[in-house]
Amino acid sequence: MEHPDIIIPVVPASGGCSASACGASARQMGGLPEAVRRKVEEHPCYSEQAHHYFARMHAAVAPACNIQCNYCNRKYDCANESRPGVVSEVLTPEQAVQRTLAVGAAIPQMSVLGIAGPGDPLANRERTFATFRLLAEKAPDIKLCVSTNGLALPECVDELSQHAIEHVTITINCVDPDIGAKIYPWIFWQHRRVRGRAAAEILIAQQQKGLEMLVARGILVKVNSVLIPGVNDGHLEEVSRIVKAKGAFLHNVMPLIAAPEHGTFYGLTGQRGPTAAELKAVQDACAGDMTMMRHCRQCRADAVGLLGEDRGAEFTLEKVAAMEIDHEAALARRLAFREQVRAELEAKRTQAATQVIALHRPPRKPLGRPVLMAVATKGNGIINEHFGYAREFLVYEASEAGVRLIGHRKTEKYCGGSETCGDGESRIDRIVRTLEGCEAVLCARIGIEPWSRLEAAGIRPDTEHAMEAIEAAVAAVWRAMLEKGELADAATERQRA
Amino acid sequence: MALRIVDTCVNCCACEPLCPSRAIRAAKPHFLIDASACGECLGDYADPQCASICPIEGAIVNALNEPLNPLGSLTHLPPELWAAMRPASGTP
Ligand code: SF4
Ligand code: SF4
């Protein structure tokens, strides 16, 4: 197929994330049992650290679905885990495994194979489990994960544990069937199509039961929720509380992506997605503790990797079929790479622990408010991307406590490559809107036109820190703002008056 | 008496494993029902299985060419939006 669908991480030889970001991760993971921490450590979807070091890959082997979501159009991919408007090439289990092994031989970072669509993996259980079985024969080190709507989960838990699958993601958008009825028009259940509230009631019960069964078997569970303004925005906090109480390890809130051209119910009926600020507010409300990860990028069902460099063209089915692969050597390379990373992370954890102590010293300077900044990067933890080429921005929060990565904002249009999208909004308008809430953009270079548009929108472009390490640069910009007196918060103002 | 899959089928393959008569097979450009094998699930299930899971309105029709899932019945979109929901190009 034409469109590139494999995204390979750009991985640092050493020191991909500087100590401050990893400090945040250390806080996130500090309270977890050792066994869970180890599982998470290598999972690029779960761990902020792993995210910088490991690649994952999704294989589109599961076309069928057993429910309908109002944000999904089955003519395209599932919107849960993938971008609307992009059609996956459905692979047979054999093709999927061949491709995974090819990627795993070329890229030692390759550590996770996920099955997430375009339909529901557990509505295609034969194909999904066949893929896992075949892969385990040649590459037993590659971890497996599944993303599901949860309807068929309880009856699959036993088989999932047999395949030694450590990670399952359940998309849970509600725990209240009245809200569910606004999200799911129907489900296929026990040989019938069930609609409305009754459908939502069954789906919710199955999701919760599946979650409990997985936790009881020691399988890590992440919960994804799609934030749908006016439908479940006020409800996700409760979802978060319940799924965490039941033992979900992460709760990840993702924005609804809806536009008429996707042909979805929400898209066509004008249901909007959340603004960046609304999303952050719900994520904050759901955070409560440290276990919420913000770096989910709504990656496509057939994508691979983390910080994106696109090498999909190297792994087309034809090329993969022609490759001669020494599976044992590939396995050895992957294991060696992981050993190296483990040692690095261990060293960083020690460093981070020292830092936390330093942070707890009473601040000598007046308090400054936290500031969000966007960063254009190609990877390696460096500000090395041109503003105009950035397909996504990493958003960092700088404050007294340090610098932490809080999320990604994509700039790409979901409907294709033209400069303007259906609504006549230009690319720069869209980017400015995407960057809502950020006060600065750090990039390697930027054109004059976007420079002035950003300034007009109150976002300060900054190229002074080009090619510097992200966290250090963000911290420096924040300190400069603080010194210029731009960060006095309301409380400090009052004290001064 | 048999159902038929028409060209709005998106080849999601959801119907195929559910058929009690094994009457459905993958084909190009879309899945097909073997009319001589399909008994509309009579005697096996209350509802024809293929039409109970198919996500595409209009993709499965009966002998009178009537869709088992008419427009609007699965998505609940109002009639004025039906045109927008169909594929941008290609099949009617
Ligand atoms: S109606 Fe029943 S028997 Fe006929 S094709 Fe569909 S599932 Fe098979
Ligand atoms: S369920 Fe419907 S869309 Fe899917 S393959 Fe069968 S007929 Fe085609």
* CATH superfamily of the domain spanning A22-321: Aldolase class I (3.20.20.70)
> Residue type for A322, please?
A
Give the pLDDT confidence score for residue A402 in this predicted structure: 83
Q: Are A336 and A328 contacting, i.e. CB atoms less than 8 angstroms apart?
A: no
Give the pLDDT confidence score for residue A299 in this predicted structure: 43
Give the distance from CA B2 to its chain's centroid.
12
Give the pLDDT confidence score for residue A300 in this predicted structure: 40
Give the pLDDT confidence score for residue A7 in this predicted structure: 36
Q: Which residue of B has its CA nearest to A267?
A: B85
- Report chain B residues whose CB lies below 8 A from the CB of A118: 12
Q: Which residue of A has its CA nearest to B52?
A: A193
- Best of A122, A151, A191 to substitute, by most chain B Cβ atoms within 10 angstroms, is A191
Q: What share of chain A is helix, strand, coil (3-state, %, to 5)?
A: 40, 20, 40
Residue B16 CA to ligand 2 centre (angstroms): 8
A63–B11 CB contact, under 8 Å = yes
Nearest ligand to the C-alpha of residue B63?
1
| 0.90 surpassed by pTM | no
pLDDT digits (tens, 9 = 90+) for B12-53: 999 999 999 999 999 988 999 999 999 999 999 999 999 999
Give the pLDDT confidence score for residue A312 in this predicted structure: 64
Q: Are A229 and A53 contacting, i.e. CB atoms less than 8 angstroms apart?
A: no
Assess A455–B contact: CB distance below 8 Å, yes or no: no
Assess B29–A contact: CB distance below 8 Å, yes or no: no
Q: What is the pLDDT along chain A (497 residues), one digit of tens a residue?
A: 333 333 333 333 333 332 333 333 434 444 556 666 666 665 655 555 565 667 777 788 888 999 999 988 876 544 443 443 344 568 899 999 998 898 888 888 888 888 877 889 999 989 999 999 999 888 988 888 899 999 999 999 999 988 868 789 999 999 999 999 999 999 999 999 999 999 999 999 999 999 999 999 988 898 989 999 999 999 999 999 999 899 888 888 888 988 887 788 898 889 998 998 898 889 888 865 444 444 444 444 344 444 344 566 677 778 888 888 888 888 888 888 888 877 877 777 776 655 544 444 444 555 788 899 999 988 778 898 999 888 889 999 898 888 888 888 887 643 344 444 444 567 788 888 889 899 999 999 998 888 999 999 999 999 999 988 898 999 999 999 988 888 876 544 444 44
Nearest Cα neighbor of A210 from A143, A144, A159 is A159
Give the pLDDT confidence score for residue A308 in this predicted structure: 44
Q: Which CATH class is domain B1-92?
A: alpha beta
**DSSP string covering B19-84:** -TT--EE--SSS-EE-TTT--TTTTT-SS-HHHHH--STTSEE-TTS-BSS-TTTTT---GGGHHH
Q: What is the CATH number of domain A367-496?
A: 3.30.420.130
Radius of gyration of chain A (CA): 22
A191–B77 CB contact, under 8 Å = no
Give the pLDDT confidence score for residue A361 in this predicted structure: 47
Give the pLDDT confidence score for residue A426 in this predicted structure: 77
Give the pLDDT confidence score for residue A337 in this predicted structure: 85
A268–B77 CB contact, under 8 Å = yes
A64–B53 CB contact, under 8 Å = yes
What is the residue with the minimal CA distance to atom 3 of ligand 2?
B9
Assess A192–B contact: CB distance below 8 Å, yes or no: yes
Nearest Cα neighbor of A52 from A6, A21, A24, A30 is A21
Instruction: Tell me the ipTM for this assembly.
Output: 0.91
- Report chain B residues whose CB lies below 8 A from the CB of A123: 14
Q: Which ranges of A110-195 does DSSP label H, i.e. alpha helix?
A: 125-138, 153-162, 177-180
Assess A365–B contact: CB distance below 8 Å, yes or no: no
CA distance B85 to chain A (A): 5
Assess A128–B contact: CB distance below 8 Å, yes or no: no
Domain ranges of chain A: 22-321, 367-496
B12–A65 CB contact, under 8 Å = yes
